[in-house]
Structure formats: structure tokens, C-alpha cells
Chains A and B, each alone.
Chain A
């Protein structure tokens, strides 16, 4: 059975801190890994990772995938209160089936 586990479950930091969110997975026929940010309504797509070792970057957010060790990390540098959200990791397997992790709830305090 495919499994995606995110850690930590929740995290409280202060503005300016750097955070690292983890996502480990066990899936058959891995295709890609997706990161989303969910604030109020629909999760907002952040990154799609398919190859190991290639960092994807968008502003203060970056992510990398390790297909050998079966995990991905999402880094946020110089956090701001607007980064407070639930961050979701999802793995796409054969047939475009999605398995979501349970999410990491990040709270950034001023």
C-alpha cells in the first residue's frame, strides 16, 4: 500500500527563521512528488519534483527530491507570517494516482 509521511506534524517558528519540512514515501511506480501550500481553500501548487538531486526554487522556497532514500524536503528561508499554512506533500504513481501525506501545519509568529 502506498504511503506518504510528513514530519513534523506541526511547527511554530518566528519570523526570519528557516524551516525544513520533510516528506518520505513508499510507493510503487513512483512518477513525481508534489508540494502544495494550503491556507484556506484549495491547496496551492508549489513544486513538482521528478528527478533526484535537482533543487527547485521559487523565491524563499526550495525543494529537493532524493529518490534513493525516498524523501523530499521543502525549505523556507526568512519565514514570514504569510507562510503560515498547512504544507502538503503528494506522490504521483503509475496511472497518475495521488497519495497525499498528512501535512505539516506551520505557524510563523511575528
Chain B
């Protein structure tokens, strides 16, 4: 099956700094990538949907200036958490899909962010 990687797998940063998380589709072209945040009870919240070459579509309640998403190529999307605060500490998961999101989503392994 298709492989999606995320980097870094875990990151610890100080409050006020920015952190960039990369999501790569290793063996297919991902026209659409999704960014999720996992909450303590294992539920996943969709944060935004990004299509290659265009601006991301953010879900209601997600601050676009805080969570910057860039999908510059068909194999790479990045999520930058700007001016991170302790409440941003979470597990961030990306998934990637071909054919404008109509195909199966392949999930990455997630990135654990801890903001001190």
C-alpha cells in the first residue's frame, strides 16, 4: 500500500517558538493532504484540507494564521504551528490521497508535539 511519512516523529519546543511538521507521500502523488489533531480520547479532529498548489481549506474553529499549511508539491505538505503554546501540545497526523481526495486516504505515523 501507499506510504506516508511524517517528520519529525516527536518534537519538544519552548512556548512562543514555531514548529514545522512535514508530511510526505513516498510512492504516490498526493493531490490532497489532510491534517488531523488527535485528542486524548483518541478522537481525530480534521484541521484542514490542502490541495497541491492552492490554499488550504480550514475547518471551523481552526486558526489559519496559527496553523500554516503549505502543499507546495504533489509529495509534500507542511504544517507550521506558529507561536506555539502548551495547549497546542498534541499528536498531529497527516493523511494523503490522490485524485482530489476521492481516493483512499493513507495516514502518516503522526508527530507528537510537546510545548513547554
Contacts and interface: CB of A to CB of B under 8 A. Distances in A.
Interface of A: 2, 34, 36, 38, 41-45, 48, 86, 88, 90, 95-100, 102-103, 105
A86 to B, nearest CB: 7
B23 to A, nearest CB: 13
16 contacts: A2-B109, A41-B46, A41-B59, A42-B43, A42-B45, A44-B43, A45-B44, A86-B105, A88-B107, A95-B9, A96-B91, A98-B91, A98-B93, A100-B106, A102-B106, A103-B104
Nearest to A2: B109
A99 B106 CA distance: 10
Interface string B79-112: 0000000000001010100000000111101101
Given A95-B10, A97-B110, A98-B93, A45 B43 contact: yes
Interface of B: 1-2, 9-10, 36, 38, 41-46, 59, 91, 93, 95, 104-107, 109-110, 112
A45 B41 contact: yes
Contacts of B44: 36, 42-43, 45
Contacts of B46: 41-42
Given A42-B36, A105-B104, A98 B43 contact: no
B40 to A, nearest CB: 11
Contacts of A95: 9-10, 112
A71 B95 CA distance: 23
A102 B1 contact: yes
Nearest to B107: A100
